[in-house]
A and B are shown apart, each in its own frame.
Chain A
Amino acid sequence: MIGIGRRGLLAGTTGLLAAPGILHAQPAGGVKIGLVAVQTGPQAALGNQLKDGFALGLRHLDGRLGGLSAETIVIDDELRPEVAVTKVRAALERDRVDFIVGVVFSHILGAIMRPVTEANTFLISTNAGPSTFAGRGCNPFFFTTSYNNDQVHAVMGQVSQDNGYRRVFLMTPNYQAGRDAMAGFKSKFRGEVVDEVYVPLTQLDFSAELAKIAAARPDAIFTFMPGGLGVNLVRQYRQAGLANIPFLSTFTVDEATLPAQGAAAEGFFSAASWAPNMDNAQNQRFVRDFEAQYNYVPATYAAQAYDGAMLLDSAIRRVGGNLRDKDALRAAIRAADFRSVRGNFRFGANHYPVQDFWLLRVARRADGKFQTETVRKVFENDVDPWAAECRMR
């Protein structure tokens, strides 16, 4: 998902000095994982979620993946594609990692895609799921445990349709992912789009847009405002007294931003394939242990990384620890023989998950913290719109 702002560039250079951190020591005959997680700049909170989710998965597996002792090398991509490529190449050639896992942002994924897959190494994205690699660009060495962005935006279009909203106001940042969000929403929504507003990625103050929304009096608004943008928007939306207009969003209110949004986001809607309150044993254990270990509420970034660890464990177990036979390994990953924290999970032909999507609402928990909670299932066993174009070679 998401792109990069000027701040990412400013924050970039500092990480050059940081050496890759090593979480576990490795005896011979183990498996090495290169975990790509942004640790620099304002988006580092997302990278931390990813890293902690994966680490908890390993902890639940006693530090072993499919019987092999696992070593994780954390790679900070610094939110800069060229840095990501250099560091990932080093991990492949110098550290001889067996898998590359992680990646929060799709432009980073796009940059490391070729170096990793051309080295015949499996790349398992636990967050970025751009349409580029779902359709014609699908790749036999690429899997994702997250989703295709379009599916998430489409959930909100469907929800607006189901709720009988006739007039919806759309607002996203003015860059590719923002335009994709609008397109994804409109793919399911048949009513009137009152207005489409594009804001700069560096927007601080939404008062001009809020006045427009108040003047337009829509049945609902749909927005995609990742990170700090979403924090500003949600609080200002609440302060402007607009909260009586339903707030439908994607990647705007989640457990990564809720600590800053707090009560301002209560009752606002989001969409995802997972939420912390999902009622299955695997998820309850994940959430309980995650909070005990790291002292914050996990978001999808952590949940999907946790699933990534479980997926690898199941695949390596299935091939009996033989990582050489790539075809057997691919078949083992594709089998997805693990219990996902989401419940339903299997891979489609393009190696993107086929899964359920939920409407979520922000709620205050008994302990005063905030989390998203499932309202209802919107899509069941949903296949992303690009899968049909994929010819896996």
Chain B
Amino acid sequence: MTTQLLLVQALNGLQLGILLFLVAAGLTLVFGVMDFINLAHGVQYMLGAYLGAAFAAATGSFWWALLLALPAALAAGLLLEVLVFRHLYARDHLSQVLATFGVILFVNEGVKVVWGAAPLQVPVPALLEGGIEIMPGLQYPLYRVAVLAAGIATALGLWWLVERTRAGMLVRAGATNAPMVSALGVDIGRLFTLVFAFGAMLAGFAGVLAGPIFSVEPGMGDNVLILAFVVIVIGGIGSIRGAFVAALLVGLVDTLGKSLMPDLMRLFLDPSAARQAGAALASMLVYVAMAAILAFRPAGLFPVRTG
């Protein structure tokens, strides 16, 4: 393992972390502000990817697809909120889990009916084709650099929105004590709807960005969802800052674990066993890290103070 390879892997980890952050940001807001467990958040990510793929196929341009898919994902989020989620806020977590799980099944089948079961393709935009040679023989795709940049820009924008604007102040207040905010004359129902739709759009944004890298297929959101839950639990539920740090952490742990673990295991085991054990351990590493962090900080890295 050379220093160069390590750097490349760190970059890969950051990039995975950024995508995770975009999904987790909406999830943590919805969970933190509304105390609402939304398993269907991964579906928003998938819908974003499908909408992006559909618009890209229709317009022939990734940029138009991005521009059109964002409001469409927002609209889809609003629709789901009005039709399903709104009726669940007052219910307990079990009802929410059941109902949103139902939405997963429904939408997964829905996209299959509309777009078919076979994976779809989204071409990389011409402007971002090609790559930068960061180590001999390996091109780091320019598109991934762009995803990294877009993610960091979004994170900064979110931080500004939540920490520096009036809307953000209300969101933070809502996360701390919703009944009090409501009593002060803020329409908490509308705030919830806005937060929800915004979170859906962020996940949709991540989905559009992921389209040219990953395959767009039914159920693609389910894997991301599990990691996103790990991220928000590590980061502290409701905390954007926590989600950002935790997403990068999870991305790095996952990527570096996958590349280092098998080599590490070779110190103790024979090569063939080390490879399999290393691979198995590497895929557990994220969850081990979560357990370790929660053992020391049960409320996550950046807990939101509740009143």
Q: Which residues of A contact B (CB under 8 A)?
A: 6-7, 10-11, 13-14, 41-45, 48, 174, 179, 195-200, 202, 204-205, 207-212, 214-215, 217, 227-228, 231-232, 235-236, 239-242, 256-257, 259-262
- Asked if B146 is at the interface of the complex by the 8 Å CB criterion, the answer is no
Which chain B residue shows the least CB distance to A15?
A: B109
A211 and B5 in contact, given A228-B217, A231-B215, A240-B131 (Cβ under 8 angstroms): yes
* Closest chain B residue to A198, Cβ basis: B279
Q: Give the CA-CA distance A204 to B222 in the complex, in Å.
A: 11
State whether A199 touches B118 (Cβ < 8 A).
no
- Indicate if the CB atoms of A240 and B219 lie closer than 8 Å: no
The answer to whether residues A215 and B2 also contact, given A44-B112, A208-B259, A259-B121 and a CB cut-off of 8 A, is: yes
Contact A241 B138 (CB under 8 A): yes
Q: 1/0 per residue B241-276: CB within 8 Å of A? A: 000000000000001101100100000000010011
Distance between B108 CB and nearest chain A CB, rounded to angstroms: 6
Tell me the smallest distance from the CB of B78 to a CB of chain A, in Å: 25
Pick the contact of A228 from B112, B119, B124, B144 — CB < 8 Å?
Answer: B119
- Contact (Cβ within 8 A) B216 A211: no
Q: B230 on the interface (CB 8 Å rule)? A: no
Instruction: From A6, A208, A228, name the one whose CB has the most chain B CB atoms within 10 angstroms.
Output: A208
Give the complex CA separation of A215 and B222 in angstroms.
32
**Which of B8-16, B155-163, B174-182 has 4 or more CB atoms under 8 Å from chain A?**
B8-16
Kindly state the separation between the CA atoms of A174 and B117 in the bound complex, as whole angstroms: 24
Please list the 10 inter-chain residue pairs (A to B) with the smallest Cβ-Cβ separation, ordered nearest first. A241-B139, A231-B215, A214-B138, A198-B279, A260-B119, A44-B117, A207-B12, A7-B219, A45-B118, A45-B117
Complex formed: what's the CA distance from A13 to B98 in Å?
Answer: 13
The smallest C-beta distance from A251 to any residue of chain B, in angstroms, reads: 14
List 25 A-B pairs, Cβ < 8 Å: A6-B222, A11-B218, A42-B217, A42-B219, A44-B112, A45-B119, A179-B276, A197-B275, A198-B276, A199-B279, A205-B15, A208-B13, A211-B12, A211-B138, A212-B259, A215-B2, A227-B119, A231-B214, A231-B215, A239-B124, A239-B139, A239-B144, A240-B140, A259-B119, A260-B120
- Which residues of the partner chain A approach B120 to less than 8 Å between Cβ atoms? 259-260
A69–B184 CA distance with the chains assembled, in angstroms: 75
Residue of B nearest to A44 (CB): B117
Interface string of B206-234 (1 = CB under 8 A from A): 00000011111111101110000000000
Interfacial chain A residues near B123, Cβ < 8 Å: 262
**Contact B139 A240, beta carbon cutoff 8 Å:** yes
> Is there an interface contact between B8 and A259, defined as CB atoms closer than 8 Å?
no
Query: Which residue of the partner chain B has the closest CB to A204?
Result: B214
B185 within 8 A of A: no
Q: Which residue of A lies closest to B108 (CB)?
A: A11
Asked whether, in the complex, the Cβ of B118 is within 8 Å of the Cβ of A211, the reply is no
B193 CB within 8 Å of chain A: no
**B55 interface residue per 8 A CB criterion:** no
Within 8 Å CB of B109, what residues of A?
Answer: 11, 14
CB distance from A290 to the nearest CB of B (A): 15
> Which of chain B's residues have a CB closer than 8 A to the CB of A48?
117
Q: Given A45-B116, A211-B9, A215-B5, check contact A197 B262 (CB 8 Å).
A: yes
Query: Across the A-B interface, how many residue pairs have beta carbons closer than 8 Å?
Result: 156
A228: chain B residues within 8 A (beta carbon) = 119, 215, 217, 220
In angstroms, how far is the closest chain B Cβ from the Cβ of A300?
15
When C-beta atoms are compared, the residue in chain A nearest to B138 turns out to be: A214
Checking B13, B108, B223 against A6 with a beta-carbon cut-off of 8 angstroms, the contacting residue is B223
A6 to B221, CA, bound (A): 12
In whole angstroms, how far apart are the Cα atoms of A10 and B226 in the complex?
Answer: 13
- Residues of B within 8 Å of A198, CB to CB, are 275-276, 279-280
B143 touches A239 (CB 8 A): yes
CA distance A42 to B222 in the complex (A): 12
12 further A-B contacts with Cβ under 8 Å, apart from A198-B276, A231-B119, A260-B217, are A42-B217, A42-B218, A44-B117, A208-B9, A214-B135, A214-B137, A215-B135, A231-B217, A232-B213, A240-B141, A257-B118, A262-B123
For the complex, give the distance between the alpha carbons of A44 and B112 in Å: 9
Q: Of B141, B213, B219, which is within 8 A of A11 by CB?
A: B219
| A232 and B139 alpha carbons, distance in the complex (Å) | 16
Residues of B within 8 A of A199 (CB): 258, 279
Q: Is the CB of A209 within 8 A of B258?
A: yes
B124-183 residues at the A interface, CB under 8 angstroms: 124, 131, 133, 135-141, 143-144
* Chain B positions 263-298 with a Cβ under 8 Å from a chain A Cβ: 272, 275-276, 279-280, 283
Interchain CA distance A14-B139 in the complex, whole Å: 42
Q: A6-B223, A10-B104, A14-B109 are in contact. Are A239 and B214 (CB under 8 A)?
A: no
B131 touches A13 (CB 8 A): no
Structural contact, B119 and A14, CB atoms closer than 8 A: no
List the A side residues contacting B15 at CB < 8 Å: 205, 207
Whether B105 sits at the interface, judged by CB under 8 Å, is yes
Pick the contact of B218: A41, A204, A256, A260 (CB < 8 A): A41
Residues of B near A179 (CB, < 8 A) are 276
CA distance A217 to B106 in the complex (A): 45
Question: In whole Å, how far is B23's beta carbon from the nearest beta carbon of chain A?
Answer: 12
Q: How far is the CA of A366 from the CA of B1 in the complex (A)?
A: 45
Contact with A along B1-32 (1 / 0, CB 8 A): 01001001100110110000000000000000
Distance in angstroms from B48 CB to nearest chain A CB is 15
Residues of B near A202 (CB, < 8 A) are 223
Q: Give the residues in chain A near B104, CB-CB below 8 Å.
A: 10
Closest chain B CB from A228 CB (angstroms): 5
Residues on the A chain within 8 Å of B133, using CB: 241
Given A197-B262, A205-B16, A231-B215, check contact A260 B276 (CB 8 Å): no
Checking B5, B124, B215, B256 against A260 with a beta-carbon cut-off of 8 angstroms, the contacting residue is B215
Q: Name, among A44, A204, A217, the residue most crowded by chain B CB atoms within 10 Å (CB to CB).
A: A204
The answer on a CB contact under 8 Å between B108 and A10 is yes
Q: How far is the CB of B231 from chain A (nearest CB, A)?
A: 15
Task: Chain A residues near B143: list those with CB within 8 A.
Answer: 239
Does A205 contact B135, Cβ atoms closer than 8 Å? no
- Cα–Cα, bound, A262→B143 (Å): 18
List residues of chain B with CB within 8 A of the CB of A240. Answer: 131, 138-141
Query: With A and B bound together, what is the CA distance between A204 and B262 in angstroms?
Result: 19
Find out whether the CB atom of A260 lies under 8 angstroms from the CB atom of B219.
no
Chain A residues with CB under 8 A of B16: 205, 207
Residues of B within 8 A of A241 (CB): 131, 133, 137-139
